[in-house]
Every structure is written in structure tokens, then in C-alpha cells.
A and B are shown apart, each in its own frame.
Chain A
């Protein structure tokens, strides 16, 4: 759990449950989901398709009313609100979509102004705020362009500026980079991180891309079949080789099977006595076990060097001994197929 004193909590979700009842077939899209996001943190929500990620976002903003549970923003449970109160509560959120959902009938500047018009700002204030936001997302020179004249990355920047326009406390991003290429994804993630650093805004980001979590999240929740499977600070879950997030966030390209015995080990766990690839190979060779590295992924995530490694044994009869050695070093070995 991500715990923090309630004064610093931007968003608290408690036992949120959503059951869809469509003509007799009941689908539990959210099953007692709880999460707490401290102010100024970037919280990632990951999970397979159908895990309930979009339903969670829709319940957070009252677009879907949850079957039970609470969504507390700034000390107020917004699931109970209706009408004008609900509309006011929604302005605490800015939402960024996968396909920016900009209006083709409006220029970039006018798209950014839309939430301000809806919130009743007068023209002079709107213009000043739009100028400021265009500068913030680096699109001052494209103010008069319509979405069709902008690249996907530029459209997403307009989408982010629009989400920020009415000064929300929380930015909800539903797959914000899934439609973008790698380089553009990088620049959008950098922008989100910069916004958090400069504005202190809280970000909840839904994604199926491990790289997004690795690059910008402080904490992460893994959803599976509507329920929280794993949850915690990124630096902690990533270092724990027993978690599913560890495996998903540090993917290992495994070579095709060819009869050789391979052991998979995890690097970077705080209890491990060996912390490097060289150290692992040396440990085995020291005991007379001939071993080589078949594949490895090593990254520095949340300030910690973590990785996964596939060690190839020259002699299959040394398997058990090698596994015991690696186990003693708390490297969590597993025989790979």
C-alpha cells in the first residue's frame, strides 16, 4: 500500500466496486479497489486489457457511478455528488486521452480554451491562460493550427494543455502514449514529469507499456480482473523478484530453447549478496561451474539498479548445485525451460 498522511493525499479510492449488469450477465469490472495517491506523485495503473483500468478512470470522474466505495478528492467523496456539484468536482481533474479527443472545429488555442469557457472564465483571462499553456507545452507557434494540421505528439501536447487549463489538482491520463512512437512517447513522458516538478500536480497514468511505468512512476498498482493484484512504490516492487510487476517491468528476451540448461536470476534485490552480472558468473566459476550469460536486462529504475539475467550452464549435471548457490546469494534462481 502507498500510505501517506491524509493532509498530503490528493486522491484516495476506497473499496471501489463496479458491477455491470447487462441483461443477466454480471461483470465485476472493479472489485474493492483501494489506492492512495499523495500530492505531487505519479501513480501508474497497469493491467491486461479488460482489467478495469478505463472503468476505474470513469468512476473517478463520475462518468460511471460505482456500485459501492468512495472516491475522495480534497476531502470530499465525489461519488455522492450530482448535477452542478458533480460538474464542479470534475474540474478538479484534467483528463488526457489516448487519442487526444481534440475538437477538429477548433484551433489548438481554442481547444485549450474550451474547459475555461465551460468553467465560465471571461475572454481576457482565457486568452492569457491559453498563451501561458501553449508556452508550457512548447506549441506557441502552432496556436492557430487545427488538430488535423498537427502531428500525433503535438495533438497530445494540446490535449495535455487542455487538461491543465482550468488548474486541476489531478491529471488523469488514459493510455496517453499508446498511439505514439518511441521518441514522441519519450518527449510526452518528459513533459508530464516536468509538469509534476514545476506545478506539483498529481498524476494518475493508465498504461499497458512497461516503459511508461519505469520512466515516470513513483508508485504503481497492478489490476487483474478488476482487483488490485500488486501495489506499492516502484522502487520496492521492482526490486522484489517475486512480484509480477518485477517481471512485467523488466522484460527479458529469452533465446529459443536448444537443450542447454538456463537459470533465470533477479538482480537488485536488497537482500542479495551479489549485485552484478560479473559477480554472478564469478560466484559460479569459483565453485567450478562453467556458466555464461545468455540474456540480460539491467536498468536503473527509481534510482535502483535492477535486472533479470539468464545464465547458461555448459554442463547440465551442475544444475542443482548452481541453483543452490544462487539461492544462497538470494538471487531467486529459477530453471528456465
Chain B
């Protein structure tokens, strides 16, 4: 409960001491899951693309199975996914609370999303470039490493930016269910204890983080785009 005499804004210890910690937790869980997602998403995206009918190594069965798994992952709302995989989270992280544990559901939720974005970027690489490399005697691995991934890099970076921003959103949700971070602070002080100043501060911080990610993502995408 909140009383009229309670300190607010910069006199409120929740803002001066709680929020910095919460911000750090949000950044840590986003960065941790983004890093793993970046690696796994690229691997799954490449598998999806290369195994497709027009890919460098068509594997209809693998393509269908992988596509189905990715679609299931993408169709579950994050909140439900997070609860559904609690046993897996416990198995991997040893616990189901705190920002470290939240990296597991965040990654599981983001990989299918990012993998599809990677696949789309790879599909946009013109077949002429792949054909040119093939005619040079390139192996499928050469084509993937030297043609597909570098040519798709601007799209992959843009996709990763979108994914990281989605992860920040998921992390707030995760926080509300016991994962710490800005979401947890906004929930337990801003909402449950009616501390509007905490709510506003948490929202502003989230907006600033998202903006920063977008700006940096755009910069990097532009830097690697030579078209």
C-alpha cells in the first residue's frame, strides 16, 4: 500500500536502488538469450533454407519436420510456452526463478521466430549468385559460408534487431512471473503497490532500451549492407 507521506521519484529507494538492479537483470537476460538465439537461430534458419526444395541440399523430410517444430514454437503465446516448459527450465537452469533461469524460456521462444527471419533473408539471396559459386566448384558448405550468409547478413541483422526487441518484451512478461528485471519491478511496485512513479520510470527505461537497440541494429545493418 502507498501512503501520502511515502517518498517518491528520486527519494524512493525502489527507484534509486531497485530499478538499476532490475535494469541490469533485464539487460542480462535479454543479452544472454539474444546471444544463444543468434547462434541457434542462424543454424536452424540455414537448415530450413538449405533443406528446402530450392535450397542447396533439398531434404524434403527434414524440411517438413523442422518447419513443423518451428511453427509450433511460434504459435504458442510466450506466457504459455514459459509455463509449459518449466520442467525443461528446471532441468537446464536448476531453478525456475530469477533472470538466469528465464534465459531458457526466452531462448526457446525466440529461436523459432528468428530462424524464420533468417530463412527469409537467405531465400532473398539471388539464385544467380548461388549458381555462380556452384559453377566455381564450390561445395554446399562453401556456398552457405561464402555466399548465402554474407549476402543475407543485412537482413539477418535486421531480423536479430526485431528479435531482441521482442525478447525485451518477453523478458518483462517473464519478470512478472518471477524472473526479475524491469517487468518484475513494474509489476510488484508499480502495479501491486500503486507506486505510479516506479511504473513510469520502468516504462521509460524499457522504451529507452528498445530505442537504443533499434538505433544500434539499424546502424549495424547499414554498415554491413553494400548494395
Contacts and interface: CB of A to CB of B under 8 A. Distances in A.
Contact of A90 (B136, B147, B227): B136
Contacts of B138: 87, 118
B131 interface: yes
Given A99-B128, A104-B227, A63 B135 contact: yes
Interface string B148-169: 0011010000000000000000
A106 interface: yes
Contacts of A101: 126, 128-129, 131-132
Given A103-B147, A103-B150, A105-B150, A87 B131 contact: no
Interface residues of A, number: 25
Interface in B80-133: 126, 128-129, 131-133
Contacts of A102: 129
Contact of A114 (B131, B133, B227): B133
Nearest to B149: A105
A88 B132 CA distance: 15
Contact of A103 (B129, B131, B135, B137): B129
A95 B128 contact: no
Contacts of A147: 226
Nearest to B132: A101
Interface residues of B, number: 22
A105 B139 contact: no
B146 interface: yes
B136 A115 contact: yes
B192 interface: no
A118 B142 contact: yes
A80 interface: no
B135 A105 contact: no
Interface in A83-102: 87-88, 90-91, 93, 95, 97, 99, 101-102
Contacts of B133: 114, 118
A147 B150 CA distance: 14
A118 B153 contact: no
A105 B137 contact: no
A150 to B, nearest CB: 11
Contacts of B134: 63, 90
A87 B153 CA distance: 27
A91 B137 contact: yes
Interface of B: 126, 128-129, 131-139, 142, 146-147, 150-151, 153, 224-227
Interface of A: 61, 63, 87-88, 90-91, 93, 95, 97, 99, 101-106, 114-115, 117-119, 146-148, 166
9 nearest A-B residue pairs (beta carbon): A105-B150, A87-B137, A146-B226, A101-B128, A115-B136, A101-B132, A90-B137, A118-B138, A95-B135
Given A90-B135, A106-B150, 7 more contacts: A87-B138, A93-B135, A95-B132, A103-B147, A104-B226, A115-B136, A148-B227
10 contacts: A90-B134, A90-B137, A91-B137, A97-B128, A104-B227, A105-B224, A118-B136, A118-B142, A146-B226, A148-B227
